[in-house]
Amino acid sequence: MDDYERLIEIYKKSAILESVSEVLEWDQEVMMPEGALPVRTQQSATIAALGHDILTSDEMNGLLVSIEREELNSDQAANVREIERNYKRHKNVPNGLVRELQETRIRGVESWKEARKKNDFGLFLPYLRKVFALSGKVADCIDPDRHPYEVLLESYEQDISREEIKSHLTTIKEHLIPLIGRIKEQKIDDSLIAQDVAIEKQKEFNSFIARAIGYDFTRGRLDVSAHPFTSCYGRITTRYDNGWWSAISGTIHEAGHAMYEHHLPLQHFGTPLGQYCSMSVHESQSRIWENNIGKSKHFWEKFFPKLQDSYDLDVELDDFYKIINRVEPSFIRTEADELTYNLHIILRFEIELGLIEGKTDFDDLPRIWNEKFREYLGIVPPDDSFGVLQDIHWAWGNIGYFPTYTLGSMIAAQLFEAAQKDIPDLIDNIGQGKFEELRSWLNDNIWCHGKKYLTKELIRRATGKDPSPDDYLEYLENKYAGIYEL
């Protein structure tokens, strides 16, 4: 066995342990009884520590030094590049810190669930403080000379910097605020969304719509959780406590994530070539299906009759299309329209940046959250469950994740524009419920490459240009000018 083969053999052990940890986290969110938390905490912490030991072993270091890189092909070189990056990010992080952070995450998630249910931010506050403190320590261990947020961000997006993100978000905000201002006086009656629909009917339709766009139920499953997510090689969840449209939209979103994971090269499982490129790219796959396709009129020309019959909806397609694309500030990010959604992300990005820099006081977080909500969205959450306790991300320690949602929306529009050029009949195909060509295009341009390319090169190869807000802003302007007759 040569040095490269041995490197892959060792790395796969660490990567597969991480995938096992995903299964435990999925179980915690979907099936685990409350009384199993103490055991789950130890299980997850032990697996995280074992994976860390393997990844940062002396043998791993020796192999990275000894490998003859000039003899590697492009796939092998990409694997070594990513393995070395992971090794360098983790080598100076003490095993005890890895275990402590994982234990805090597991307990923090359960604390967040209880706090959200009881509308009591104080229950979650100690865990929130500790997650950020430990994450800051991890960032300092990785690189004490760089901004801690930049270091944490690279867990989700290593190719688009904090300053680039700030620039993209600023450009998007500067264009969207005037557009929202032109719309806000126009009201669309969305009372249809509040109509009660039996949960069993919803589950049946959501399974149908996921399967219709290409979700493979032989590789994954659709369950219920407090916050929709995708994990474990494409298992997905949705929730049914925020209205039937939210459940549909969330299901399509997560199915987009899952199709990406289902089509990562299985022969490279456990290596970087079998892993997703970045969370920005991962989010682009969910957003392209949720928004560019799932909120288009063409999509519902095919599926609206079944929805109308299943849910007993007394509304015409044209009105339904306007309802699901209405622009109106809301408290819940996952239910926000395409325009105001980005303001939710900007708010969260600014807050977590302030927290990690020590410029924002954790005790003041509910007040700061509400003030920013008033400034950006013109509304104030009625309580913390609709405010600062909205998202699970900070409980999980996903600091730096939020910006990838807007980056994903931006990249999704760019990919959809490129796909339209390469597939002349794409819009007609969507109107007929035919998605084979689009899935094939996404596979050839995104899914099959794993981590072979970084985000910018991957998107440049697919679209001919670097990730940029241009196509996204044009898409939003054209779509909402049509809906609101601007």
Could you give the CA distance from residue 213 to residue 146 in angstroms, rounded to a whole number? 43
Contact yes or no for 10/53 (Cβ under 8 A): no
Known catalytic membership, residue 254: yes
Could you give the CA distance from residue 442 to residue 457 in angstroms, rounded to a whole number? 15
Structure-block tokens of residue 279: 């969370």
Could you give the CA distance from residue 380 to residue 387 in angstroms, rounded to a whole number? 8
Residues 6+ positions from 138 with CB-CB distance below 8 Å: 93, 97, 101, 152
Identified catalytic residue from 254, 261, 290, 338: 254
Parallel, antiparallel or unpaired: strands 230-231 and 222-224: unpaired
Which long-range contacts (C-beta less than 8 Å, at least 24 apart) are formed by 126-130? 127/395, 128/362, 128/365, 128/394, 128/395, 129/362, 130/104
Could you give the CA distance from residue 434 to residue 422 in angstroms, rounded to a whole number? 16
Could you give the CA distance from residue 55 to residue 423 in angstroms, rounded to a whole number? 42
Residue 472 DSSP label: H
Cα 434 → chain centroid: 25
Structure-block tokens of residue 479: 């779509």
Please write down the HEC assignment for all residues of 207-221.
HHHHHHHCCCCCCCC
Helix 297-311 with 317-324: angle, nearest 10 deg:
100
List residues with catalytic annotation: 254
